[in-house]
Amino acid sequence: MKISIGKLILAAGVAAAVICLQAPASQASQIGDDKWCAVTDASGDVMVWDCEFDTAEDCAPAVAVGTRGFCALNPSYQPPQAPNPNAQH
């Protein structure tokens, strides 16, 4: 059975998000509000969520170098609101 890299990244990200969301707020910090986050270990128990990526593919290079980590969906992501076609100008 062959599993795509995208599905593997998504599964790892979801699992990591669940684990990290259970950590006290003082042990995690978040930068940005885009859909995907590069999650890295800053030091000890401190996780940094760099949420400045539109896709998992955009995120992957950020975790392939440096402190290494993983890509995860931003748990607080809010998609852009579609314009209301009935709104009066």
pLDDT one-digit tens code per residue, 13-65:
555 554 555 544 446 788 999 999 999 887 777 889 999 999 999 999 989 87
Total domain count for the chain? 1
Q: How far apart are CA 23 and CA 2, in angstroms?
A: 33
Q: Let me know if residue 11 belongs to a domain.
A: no
Residue position matching structure tokens 């684990």 = 19
pTM above 0.85, yes or no: no
Range of the domain at 44: 25-75
17: three-class secondary structure by DSSP: helix
Answer yes or no: is 84 within a domain: no
Strand partners, 49: 30, 39
**Residue 44 domain-assigned (yes or no):** yes
In a domain, 16, yes or no: no
Residue 15 lies in a domain: no
On whether residue 57 sits in a domain, the answer given is: yes
Q: Is residue 61 part of a domain?
A: yes
Would you say residue 31 lies in a domain?
Answer: yes
